[in-house]
Chain A
Amino acid sequence: MADLDVQDDQTTAGDDAPEQQVRAGAGFWVKVIGLALFDAIVLAVIPSLIEQGATVALISIIVGTLGINFIFLSHRTYAYRWLVPGVVFLTILMVWPIIFSVYVAFTNWSTGNFLTKDQVIEQLTEGGLSLIEPDDAPTLDMLWFEVAPGEFKMLVRNPDTDELFYGSPRTVQDPIPEEIVLDDLEAAAVVDADGDGLPESIDGVEAINTFAVAQKIPDIDSFILDIPGGEARARTLSTARLAQTRFVWDETTEVMFDRLNNENCTEVDAAFSCAGDRINPGWREVIGFGNITKVATDPGFRDPFVRVFTWNVIFAVVVVAFQFILGLGLAMVFQDPKMKFKRLYRSLLIVPYAAPAFISLVIWRGMLNRSFGQLNRALEGIGSFFGLLDLEVAIPWLTDPFWAKVAVILVTVWQGVPYFFLINSGALQSIPKELTEAARVDGAAAPQVFRKVTFPLLMVSIAPLLIASFSFNFNNFLNIFLITGGGPPLTQYAVPVGETDILISFTFDLAVESGRGALYGLASALTIFIFFIVATIAAFSFRFTKRLETIYGNL
């Protein structure tokens, strides 16, 4: 398709092209149909977006779709066609999450502050979260009557007193009426043939069957019948609870009134405070730099942060160094023409890299167990082979602070060596033989050739990959999480943190199990710090590699 399209466009560069060129190729039709399908999908999504009131998403989707259509249909924007999908996915998968994380870092988003303020007000004033219920409140029997098509009346019966209350219910959004208005059942023709105290019909209107209620009145939850002693609202489809709405929100003054204590509530820390008590749930709001200053200045976070950061840098540096050195060593061994069974070894070496990390890491975790793990058993076997019989190896790989660190480094190095073996093999082969031979002719010994010629040339192509690998291992959440889970725990800090935690796993713990519920705001603030740390390191390293390139790139 691509080829056809290119030809098509190149041969007709302008609008004044001969008319017969209009006969479009198959590629053109594929494009038109593809674009039409895309537009159709977008248009199918738009109604639901309008319904949900997602304005930002709606505008960006409309603008984006129009832009894509223009780019694909216009000649002048031809080159951008191949960039568009990349840019779109970059925006959705990278730019948007970054913007969102930054936004969250400036909010109090955490357990107890999950909802928006509107949702909190709705829950408190309309929902069943905060009702004042008398201790001995009876469960009322409830029936519904369709007095006119689409017009319903509600009947409740107090089973303790056999009293019946009948009338038109209001919705939860309506103001609480000054006085109770009910229909007079004395004057109505009430038929209770089976004598269970619940009428089968009132004024000739039959009661709706319990389950038909759910279908006829889907929003049954939102109705209230005011009766003496409180508000009757549906509990199930056939019963009602007698309670009183505790909170009333004044739209104009924006004040919450507490009917239990008969006073206005204040707003403290993004939640209503009524008579001195915090009312759950609270809402989320932008709190500015609070989270960021907390990470930077609060010793409860700063101290573990510094400790984790130090280990994080050590971990990433050591891991990348070993991966690189071992990978390079292997690559050089494989360069040797005398080496036999290269293909077999090479296939075996790829295994750690090719095996899904989820599986291999969990297996490693088992192998590292002190008493039952194969690693200690294997070491014992090696020990006895070398004559150190009855040597009991009990290295606490997962539970000792030092050995746990060794364990995560060991496994991560094991995982990454094949990658460096592969890229080093490629890079070594791309170094011109003449250069090393010339050096040998000039009288350099093998180590000298390696140090002065091979290695610098190798670094030109490998250095950027070392940086990438460093950034990757700096944020190697999976390995830490699956091998040690960050443990063994460091108990002297108030936040959950372990000896092998790196910044990203520390952030994860903070976000999901901080001991104070989920602290998304604070965790996002931490990720901003991590971003700047990684970005700074990467920037420095790239500047360094650039220098390498200017020195050796011309060779």
Chain B
Amino acid sequence: MRTRFRVIVGLVLALSLIAAACGDDEGGDTTAATTTQATTTTAATTTTAATTTTTEAATPLLIWADDTREPVLTQVAAEFEAATGIPVNVELVGFGDQRNNAIQQNPTGEGPDIFIGAHDWIGELTANGVIEPVDVGSRGGEFFDTAVSAFSLDGQLWGLPYAIEAIALYYNADLVPTPPTTFEELITICDDLGDSVEQCIGFPSGDAYHHYAFFGSNGGYLFGFEDGVYDAADRGIDSEGAIEGFTFLDTLVKDGYANPDVDYGAMAALFTGGQAAFMWTGPWELPNVQDSGINYGVAKLPAINGDTAVPFVGVQGFFVNSFSEQKALAQTFLLDYVATEDVMVQLFELGQRAPAHIASFDKVASDPDVQAFGASAADGQPMPSISEMSAVWGNLGDAVAAIYNQTADPTSALQTAAEAVTAAIEGSG
């Protein structure tokens, strides 16, 4: 009897709570329910005409952005909502997390409608089918060719490019009045400075991306590239030019100009602390350098072995989730609201990455830093975007580390890397 009493009390209470809970939820749930209903109705009656139930509250667009874009996009989102009545939610997601999060969450419906990434992710993102081509139509000419071709794969444009970046040479203007144009000049400056600086040139040791300039400048290449298509079977990781460039790097390490103990963090700290005359990195470090108050300048990368330096060029842009329910709306947002001079310039001001949008670039081109990074990028090569690239990063990084640690000579380091890449791409079993 007692038990029964308890059961009854419990059930009554539970039911009353449920009723209360459902009552509150009603407002939120109806939209979802009507949308589903709308879809089914349209499917059933299309022979006569497309029918759909009018829903007053539009589903908001969701955008993932990191801290260098989030404030600008939040502002654009507000403008978009004011003009259209469609809310846009901007969620702060770290740049490095976006690729894996998108791959995992887009197919489950948890992903954003729009996210931001680098062009070299495209191979992996398309292999997993999580991004949709972005059709800029006749507006392709508004962007630099480099940016458009970097975002293209298999004849499709996979995102809206917005910024081009490449590494350049930061110099401490108090120590170095005129920046060097060749490595010979650079070394002379360093020898003159002697012990007045802790480490004359800061390289982020062991990093494949930053050291591609050595790899590529004397003719080294990763994959054959012809007519806009990469040939993954033609690999030049241990090509003569690559070995020549890395031998030059090897000499720098041996002579102490490149220090294996300076990693990215140490490099930035040395330069902003006035303890390094030069720093070898990209525009993303610019806000940090400016905050440090150091008298800096940026110059084009110096010639390596007498050849123009060829750094990696990275292009960043907006991707549309292929599982999004609102792809047309997402594209409207990108093409009509983001791909405008105003927004592109604002994005530049916050992140200091040179705009890929030509008109916006022209607006900010008078900035000497932009000119220097632009000049470096103009001589650069876009990072290959094919999915085989993921086999290169780690192995090329290992080769750079081996040279820094002096555990292998450049030839054998690159040959080992080439073998490992071949094994990874061709699948060693």
A40 touches B52 (CB 8 A): no
The 8 A-B residue pairs with the shortest CB-CB distance, nearest first, are A281-B129, A494-B423, A139-B137, A300-B428, A515-B424, A211-B84, A40-B17, A36-B13
> What per-residue 1/0 map shows which CB atoms of B220-241 lie under 8 Å from chain A?
0000000000000000000000
The yes or no answer to B393 lying at the interface (CB within 8 A) is: yes
A1 to B393, CA, bound (A): 59
Shortest Cβ distance from residue B158 to the other chain A in the assembled complex, whole angstroms? 10
A516 touches B390 (CB 8 A): yes
| Chain B stretch 16-33: residues in CB contact (< 8 A) with chain A | 16-18, 20-22, 25, 29, 32
B332 touches A221 (CB 8 A): no
A220: chain B residues within 8 A (beta carbon): 328-329
B2 touches A173 (CB 8 A): no
Shortest Cβ distance from residue B57 to the other chain A in the assembled complex, whole angstroms? 8
Stretch at the interface among B41-49, B141-149, B344-352, B356-364: B41-49
A112 touches B417 (CB 8 A): no
Which of these, B2, B32, B35, B46, contacts A170 with CB under 8 Å?
B46
| Chain B stretch 326-372: residues in CB contact (< 8 A) with chain A | 326-329, 331-332, 335-336
B425: chain A residues within 8 A (beta carbon): 516
**Across the two chains, which residue of chain A brings its CB closest to B428?**
A300
A111 touches B127 (CB 8 A): yes
**Across the two chains, which residue of chain A brings its CB closest to B401?**
A489
Which of these, B128, B326, B407, contacts A218 with CB under 8 Å?
B326
A168 touches B14 (CB 8 A): no
B2 touches A17 (CB 8 A): yes
The yes or no answer to A513 lying at the interface (CB within 8 A) is: yes
B428 touches A221 (CB 8 A): no
A492 to B394, CA, bound (A): 13
B18 touches A43 (CB 8 A): yes
A294: chain B residues within 8 A (beta carbon): 429
- A281-B127 contact given A169-B46, A372-B261, CB 8 Å threshold: yes
A131: chain B residues within 8 A (beta carbon): 133
A119: chain B residues within 8 A (beta carbon): 107, 129
Shortest Cβ distance from residue B99 to the other chain A in the assembled complex, whole angstroms? 10
The yes or no answer to B301 lying at the interface (CB within 8 A) is: no
Shortest Cβ distance from residue B367 to the other chain A in the assembled complex, whole angstroms? 32
B424 touches A214 (CB 8 A): no
**Across the two chains, which residue of chain B brings its CB closest to A19?**
B1
Which of these, A115, A211, A299, contacts B107 with CB under 8 Å?
A115
- A44-B22 contact given A12-B2, A111-B127, A491-B420, CB 8 Å threshold: yes
Stretch at the interface among A232-240, A324-332, A379-387, A446-454: A232-240
B129 touches A152 (CB 8 A): no
A173 to B43, CA, bound (A): 8
> What per-residue 1/0 map shows which CB atoms of B157-186 lie under 8 Å from chain A?
000000000000000000000000000000
Which of these, A215, A222, A235, contacts B137 with CB under 8 Å?
A235
- A40-B21 contact given A150-B52, A214-B326, A516-B390, CB 8 Å threshold: yes
- A219-B38 contact given A69-B10, A211-B84, CB 8 Å threshold: yes
The yes or no answer to B73 lying at the interface (CB within 8 A) is: no
A371 touches B137 (CB 8 A): no
- A129-B129 contact given A369-B266, A491-B398, A491-B408, CB 8 Å threshold: yes
Seed contacts A241-B135, A518-B100; 9 additional CB < 8 Å A-B pairs: A111-B127, A150-B51, A169-B46, A216-B54, A491-B402, A491-B413, A491-B420, A515-B395, A517-B390
A367 to B309, CA, bound (A): 34
- A139-B138 contact given A216-B54, A491-B408, A515-B421, CB 8 Å threshold: yes
B35 touches A218 (CB 8 A): yes
Which of these, A39, A217, A300, A494, contacts B50 with CB under 8 Å?
A217
A151 touches B51 (CB 8 A): yes
- A44-B46 contact given A36-B13, A515-B421, CB 8 Å threshold: no
A488 to B49, CA, bound (A): 65
A151 to B83, CA, bound (A): 25
The yes or no answer to A49 lying at the interface (CB within 8 A) is: no
B42 touches A214 (CB 8 A): no
A22 touches B86 (CB 8 A): no
A220 to B408, CA, bound (A): 59
B53 touches A237 (CB 8 A): no
Which of these, B262, B329, B397, B399, contacts A237 with CB under 8 Å?
B329
The yes or no answer to A527 lying at the interface (CB within 8 A) is: no
A133 to B32, CA, bound (A): 34
The yes or no answer to B56 lying at the interface (CB within 8 A) is: yes
**Across the two chains, which residue of chain A brings its CB closest to B17?**
A40
A35 touches B86 (CB 8 A): no
- A491-B86 contact given A150-B52, A218-B38, A516-B427, CB 8 Å threshold: no
A446 to B394, CA, bound (A): 56
A311 to B10, CA, bound (A): 58
Residues of B near any A CB (own CB < 8 A): 1-3, 5-7, 9-10, 13-14, 16-18, 20-22, 25, 29, 32, 35-36, 38-39, 41-43, 46-56, 58-59, 83-86, 100, 103-104, 107, 124, 126-130, 132-133, 135, 137-138, 155, 259-263, 266, 322, 325-329, 331-332, 335-336, 387, 390-391, 393-395, 397-399, 401-402, 404-405, 407-408, 413, 416-417, 419-421, 423-425, 427-429
A15 to B6, CA, bound (A): 12
A215 touches B55 (CB 8 A): yes
B416 touches A492 (CB 8 A): yes
A169 touches B50 (CB 8 A): yes
**Across the two chains, which residue of chain A brings its CB closest to B45?**
A151
Shortest Cβ distance from residue A19 to the other chain B in the assembled complex, whole angstroms? 8
A235 touches B331 (CB 8 A): yes
A217 to B325, CA, bound (A): 11
B1: chain A residues within 8 A (beta carbon): 15, 19, 22
Shortest Cβ distance from residue A162 to the other chain B in the assembled complex, whole angstroms? 16
Shortest Cβ distance from residue A496 to the other chain B in the assembled complex, whole angstroms? 5
A220 to B331, CA, bound (A): 12
- A168-B46 contact given A218-B325, A239-B137, A488-B401, CB 8 Å threshold: yes
The yes or no answer to A464 lying at the interface (CB within 8 A) is: no
**Across the two chains, which residue of chain A brings its CB closest to B336?**
A236
Stretch at the interface among A120-128, A416-424, A543-551: A120-128
A294 to B36, CA, bound (A): 45
B137: chain A residues within 8 A (beta carbon): 139, 235, 239, 241
B9: chain A residues within 8 A (beta carbon): 32
Shortest Cβ distance from residue B421 to the other chain A in the assembled complex, whole angstroms? 7
B401: chain A residues within 8 A (beta carbon): 399, 487-489
A300: chain B residues within 8 A (beta carbon): 423, 428-429
Question: Can you report 20 A-B residue pairs in the complex whose CB atoms are below 8 A from each other?
Answer: A40-B18, A119-B129, A128-B133, A139-B138, A168-B46, A169-B46, A214-B332, A218-B59, A219-B39, A220-B328, A223-B50, A236-B332, A294-B429, A298-B428, A369-B266, A370-B260, A399-B405, A491-B398, A491-B416, A515-B394
